[in-house]
């Protein structure tokens, strides 16, 4: 008796393959936004942990001092890559060794190198990594700072974080540049730092040393270090209400993103002042900031949402809440800004 020949399938039909490919593509389309969001959240967590480490370093440094003084005097920007070779070989602003050694003393991460067991001299040392925010690095890579220098001839070192260290030194001592708002009380928590060793600036530095951490009146509410971003609001009537981000200085602030970075869902590239102003108006009008990772003087770190500064029913600012204890010496204590509140 003869057997019928049997036929076995050797693979999928074209239709079956197309169905499988379509299902895989659909799954990717569904999962990709979630994966991207999870990745961004992971980067934000790293950023927040870095800020917490920096804050703990400051607290440890202060408690080791006889008078609990904060480290300083310090520049407000928490610069990265502060090793000697990193500064003398910097692509934007290569320094002489003497200048580099002078500037190192103004960097928070250089002050905290011992706390981080850091002896590196080139880029990406331990303290550099702690002062690097992966979210900011993606939004505003170091190349943007080089573009900023080439476009404006203004040298701003790559930085992701900023210290709450503002005050008002006379225009004569500063060389005519003030550029700060909503002064802290006491002013210059981390001490006034002379950016060049002129007699007037060095005297101002001696007159404004770092303050005791115990002098911070509400340490659980007053921010110490936060993401560096800057958005200026033109306001000729009240210059104390100029900027809406943690960074305080006009011309160098324009090298940073003009929105709170975490969860903002937008890209950033350096743009000229006029374009930045229009972008800032759009962000303000839509209340479309993300969050600002911040560490406070009591050591806790959180993501802070932007708020609106109000006075007598009017809205002044929309952005980072800023110092909760502004100095009242200048402008006059009866200035209405001191009655404004964040909501």
Report field, pTM of the whole predicted structure over 0.75: yes
Paired strand residues for 314: 311
Strands 223-227 and 314-319: unpaired
Listing DSSP states for 2-48 in one string gives PPPPP----S--HHHHHHHHHHHHHHHHHHHHHHHHHHHHHHHHHHH
Q: Residue 278: which residues within 8 A CB-CB, separation 6 or more? A: none
Query: Token match 């005297």: residue?
Result: 203
pLDDT at res. 138: 92
**Residue-level pLDDT, tens digit, the chain, 343 residues:** 555 555 555 666 777 778 888 888 888 777 666 666 778 788 999 999 999 999 999 998 888 877 789 998 998 999 887 778 888 888 777 889 998 888 888 889 888 877 777 766 666 677 788 889 999 999 999 889 888 888 888 888 889 999 999 887 866 666 655 555 677 888 899 999 988 888 888 898 999 999 999 999 899 999 999 999 999 876 656 666 678 899 988 778 889 999 999 999 888 888 888 888 899 999 999 999 999 999 999 999 999 999 998 877 888 889 999 888 777 555 555 566 667 788 8
Cα-Cα end-to-end distance for the chain: 92
Q: What is the CA radius of gyration of the chain?
A: 25
Q: Cβ(139)–Cβ(261) under 8 Å? A: yes
Cβ neighbours for 212, distance < 8 A, ≥ 6 positions apart: 62, 67, 68, 69, 70
Under the phi-then-psi rule, with left for phi > 0, alpha for psi from -120 to 50, and beta for the rest, what region is 175? left
Classify 224 as helix, strand or coil. Answer: strand
Strand-pairing partners, residue 243, are: 232
Judged by DSSP in three states, 62 sits in helix
DSSP 3-16: PPPP----S--HHH
Angle, vertex CA 293, rays to CA 62 and CA 341, nearest 5: 90
- The reply to whether omega before 329 is within 30° of 0 (cis) is no
pLDDT at 196: 81
CA distance 287 to 283: 6
Contact present, 205 and 195 (Cβ < 8 Å): no
Q: Do residues 116 and 131 lie in contact, with contact meaning Cβ atoms separated by under 8 Å?
A: no
What is the structure's pLDDT at 296? 96
């Amino acid at each position: 008796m003869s057997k019928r020949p049997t036929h076995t399938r050797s693979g999928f039909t074209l239709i079956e393959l197309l169905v499988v490919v379509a299902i895989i593509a659909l799954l990717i389309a569904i999962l990709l936004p979630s994966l991207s969001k999870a990745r961004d959240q992971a980067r934000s967590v790293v950023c927040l942990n870095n800020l917490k480490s920096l804050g703990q370093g400051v607290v440890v440094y202060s408690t080791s001092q006889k008078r609990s003084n904060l480290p300083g005097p310090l520049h407000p920007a928490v610069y990265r890559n502060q090793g000697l070779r990193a500064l003398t070989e910097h692509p934007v602003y290569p320094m002489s060794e003497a200048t580099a050694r002078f500037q190192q003393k103004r960097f928070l991460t250089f002050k905290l190198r011992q706390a981080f067991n850091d002896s590196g001299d080139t880029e990406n040392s331990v303290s550099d990594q702690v002062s690097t925010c992966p979210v900011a690095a993606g939004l505003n890579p170091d190349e943007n700072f080089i573009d900023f220098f080439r476009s404006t001839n203004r040298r701003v070192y790559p930085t992701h974080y900023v210290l709450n260290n503002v005050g008002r030194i006379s225009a004569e001592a500063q060389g005519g540049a003030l550029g700060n708002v909503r002064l802290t009380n006491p002013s210059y928590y981390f001490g006034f730092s002379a950016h060049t060793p002129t007699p007037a600036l060095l005297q101002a530095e001696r007159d404004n040393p770092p303050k005791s951490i115990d002098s911070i009146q509400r340490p659980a509410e007053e921010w110490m270090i936060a993401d560096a971003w800057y958005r200026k609001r033109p306001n000729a009537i009240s210059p104390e209400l100029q900027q809406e981000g943690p960074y305080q200085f006009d011309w160098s602030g324009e090298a940073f993103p003009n929105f709170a970075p975490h969860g903002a869902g937008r890209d950033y590239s350096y743009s000229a002042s006029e374009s930045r102003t229009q972008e800032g108006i759009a962000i303000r009008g839509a209340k479309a900031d993300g969050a600002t990772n911040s560490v406070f003087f009591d050591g806790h770190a959180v993501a802070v949402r932007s708020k609106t500064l109000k006075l007598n029913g009017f809205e002044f600012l929309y952005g980072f809440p800023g110092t909760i204890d502004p100095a009242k010496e200048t402008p006059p204590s009866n200035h209405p800004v001191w009655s404004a509140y964040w909501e």
